[in-house]
């Protein structure tokens, strides 16, 4: 459940690379992902050296995010890309079409699948064809909604070697929205009045009801997303899709995450996949939704302070990719 912090971000300040990156160990070049007028720009980070390396395609969470998932002064996907590339893994990240194209973001027939799937499949192909990359070892790493849709992408694109799901939400997003806004009303009441909780509750009830149709106005629905988006999401179960994949998966969760939680989301991944030998589930207790480590209850204000993805998370991904085999 990603959308709640996007509207609260501060003006972007200069990003400073985390200490675990070594820019001299990799090079970057730009690519175009997708085709036609809705193509987007992306960046490939390629480790130096002659050996064919594994590759990872990064998927940002829900909302109009650039290739770095910029949130205030922070760039968590850039942290991941530079951290992984410093450790021998090629990474492709790209601007979301909803970020790059305002008309696409406002399309009345927008769905999660349209927003993610064609771009992810194209990015996987680009990375598999890269001369520095081992085409049989290209993985998809999705954060939040990017993790939610990652199983569908792997179901469509069979060449995917495995999935890394970071804070992938499973609880229906309209239910999660009510839970998150209720939490924020208690934590930051000056920002979230009780009337906002009532509005989200009413919108979520409409998503659940038989009254939701393709002609329901977006203004009556959570986050102003069109009815098409909710009609698809209402019936989407990422765990059910993941159980049919039989691919290696690393599922990561922050213990301090209030948007996607251990109790509401990770329990469902564990119930569906916890007994699978090819699935590795790990919780980083100190981390929030962006996998920034800290203490105490997490709030949107945490995203406004310059921080970096937990180095232990980078280490988990590097170690897992190194041994994962489809």
DSSP letter (8 states) at residue 265: I
Q: Please say if 144 is a catalytic residue.
A: yes
Which one is catalytic: 5, 174, 284, 289? 289
* Beta-ladder partners of 254: 284
Say how far apart CA 193 and CA 195 lie, in whole Å: 5
Q: Please say if 289 is a catalytic residue.
A: yes
Which one is catalytic: 257, 265, 288, 310? 257
163 and 259 Cβ atoms separated by less than 8 Å: no
Which one is catalytic: 4, 45, 86, 144? 144
22 and 318 Cβ atoms separated by less than 8 Å: no
238 and 245 Cβ atoms separated by less than 8 Å: no
Enumerate residues 6+ apart whose C-beta is below 8 A from 72.
9, 10, 11, 12, 13, 303, 304, 305
| Alpha-carbon distances, residue 168 vs 59, 171, 266, 273 (angstroms) | 11, 10, 8, 13
Q: Please say if 257 is a catalytic residue.
A: yes
Task: List residues with catalytic annotation.
Answer: 144, 257, 289
């Amino acid at each position: 459940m990603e959308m709640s912090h996007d509207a609260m971000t501060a003006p972007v300040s200069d990003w400073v690379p985390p200490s675990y990156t070594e820019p001299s160990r990799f090079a970057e070049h730009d690519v175009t992902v997708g085709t036609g007028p809705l193509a987007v720009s992306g960046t490939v980070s390629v480790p130096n050296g002659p050996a064919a390396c594994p590759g990872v395609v990064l998927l940002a969470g829900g909302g109009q995010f650039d290739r770095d998932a910029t949130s205030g002064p922070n760039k968590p996907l850039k942290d991941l890309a530079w951290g992984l590339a410093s450790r021998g893994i090629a990474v492709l990240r790209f601007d979301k079409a909803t970020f790059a194209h305002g008309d696409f973001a406002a399309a009345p027939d927008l769905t999660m699948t349209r927003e993610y799937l064609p771009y992810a499949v194209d990015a996987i192909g680009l990375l598999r064809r890269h001369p520095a990359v081992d085409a049989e070892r290209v993985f998809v790493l999705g954060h939040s909604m990017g993790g939610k849709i990652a199983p569908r992408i792997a179901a469509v694109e069979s060449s995917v070697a495995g999935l890394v799901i970071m804070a992938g939400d499973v609880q229906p997003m309209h239910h999660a929205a009510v839970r998150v806004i209720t939490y924020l009303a208690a934590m930051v009441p000056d920002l979230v009045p009780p009337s906002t909780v009532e509005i989200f509750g009413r919108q979520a009830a409409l998503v659940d009801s038989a009254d939701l149709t393709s002609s329901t106005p977006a203004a009556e629905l959570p986050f102003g997303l069109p009815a098409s988006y909710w009609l698809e999401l209402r019936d989407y179960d990422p765990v059910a899709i993941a159980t049919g994949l039989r691919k290696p998966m690393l599922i990561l969760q922050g213990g301090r995450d209030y948007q996607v939680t251990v109790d509401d989301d990770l329990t469902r991944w564990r119930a569906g996949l916890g007994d699978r030998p090819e699935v590795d589930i790990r919780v980083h207790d100190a981390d929030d939704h962006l996998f920034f480590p800290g203490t105490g209850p997490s709030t949107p204000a945490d995203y406004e302070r310059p921080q970096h993805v937990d180095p232990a998370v980078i280490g988990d991904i590097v170690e897992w990719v190194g041994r994962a085999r489809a």
